[in-house]
A and B are shown apart, each in its own frame.
Chain A
Amino acid sequence: MSSWTWFHRLASPPSFFRLADRLAPWLGWIALALLAYGWINGLFFAPEDYQQKDAYRIIYVHVPAAALSLSLYVGMAVAGFVALVWRMKLAESALIAIAPVGASFTALALVTGMLWGKPMWGAYWVWDARLTSELVLLFLYFGVIGLWQAFEDPRAAARACALLAVVGVINVPIVKYSVDWWNSLHQGSTILKMGKPSITAAMAWPLFASVIGSYLFAGYVILRRLQNELLQREAGTAWVRELMGKSRV
């Protein structure tokens, strides 16, 4: 039993709040450095593509956003599952903290995809499997955010959101494998596939930096949002009062 005490301590709002306070600045600054490296090199120093010329540079925004849109949904669904099964408050707060971040990166993936589609495919939008399922993903995020705002009682709201998040996770493999299952205008996965990547190092390093930087950035934002959720839920408790006392000094 004693091996679980660390878990209970971590899941308690005041200790998680303090841990997030220590962790968040590191995540934020490393994310900023990686993103600056990735985007500046992607924009100005990576060689141009032999087919797409400079238009391919959109990849440095599009791929990290698209990868995050799926990963964050899975994270949200896992938090939802934990919230449903163990009624853990921290998981409920995590679910709510992730949703707006996920929605914003899903919207970014869609918009940059449109800006890439116009010059390459000749159309901003086509109703094909990849694009449509990604749009459904955005609506799932909106659904979770809307449900959260529709309930007065935060615990009831969290249960409803968790249920939607868990059921909606079925859309994630559909987005991911849509390019293999159906004929799609969208290209298949070429960069993050196993084995030899089909991209030269001068293009690949800025891309990897952008992807990892975006993940760390999302981690930073989620920690900060989670802290706010905890403060709101625990308002009036001893640890929040103590914290406010310190911040006023």
Chain B
Amino acid sequence: MGGYGLYVWGSFGCGLAVLAWNALSPRLARRALMRQMTESE
């Protein structure tokens, strides 16, 4: 990356992290919600 590796890879790394968080957090929330609702029934 011509000396800019830290900045370029850092940016794409942060991008991947944001994508991963966005994809995973509603999934985990759904699972917790379903468990909670089953218990309260």
Q: Which residue numbers of A lie inside 8 Å of B, CB to CB?
A: 28, 35, 39, 43, 48, 53-55, 57-58, 60-62, 65, 100-101, 104-105, 107-108, 111-112, 115-116, 118-119, 217-218, 221, 224-225, 227-228, 231-232, 235, 240, 244, 247-248
Contacts and interface: CB of A to CB of B under 8 A. Distances in A.
A221 B26 contact: yes
> Which A-B residue pairs are the 7 nearest by beta carbons?
A224-B26, A61-B15, A55-B4, A112-B11, A54-B1, A54-B2, A58-B11
18 contacts: A28-B23, A35-B19, A39-B12, A53-B3, A53-B4, A55-B4, A55-B8, A108-B18, A111-B11, A115-B7, A115-B11, A119-B4, A217-B23, A224-B27, A231-B30, A244-B34, A244-B37, A247-B34
Given A118-B7, A218-B22, 14 more contacts: A54-B8, A55-B4, A57-B8, A61-B11, A61-B14, A65-B15, A101-B22, A115-B7, A217-B22, A227-B26, A231-B37, A235-B37, A244-B38, A248-B38
Interface of B: 1-5, 7-8, 10-12, 14-15, 18-19, 21-23, 25-27, 29-30, 33-34, 37-38, 40-41
Contact of B12 (A28, A61, A101): A61
A61 B8 CA distance: 9
Chain B interface mostly: helix
A62 B12 contact: no
B13 to A, nearest CB: 9
A119 B7 CA distance: 8
A225 B41 CA distance: 23
A8 B28 CA distance: 30
A231 B23 CA distance: 18
Contact of A111 (B5, B14, B27, B33): B14
Contacts of A118: 7
B1 to A, nearest CB: 4
A228 B26 contact: yes
B15 A112 contact: yes
A101 to B, nearest CB: 6
B18 A231 contact: no
A53 B5 CA distance: 11
Contact of B18 (A107, A225, A228): A107
Contacts of A48: 2
Contacts of A105: 18
Nearest to A64: B15
A104 B21 contact: yes
B6 to A, nearest CB: 8
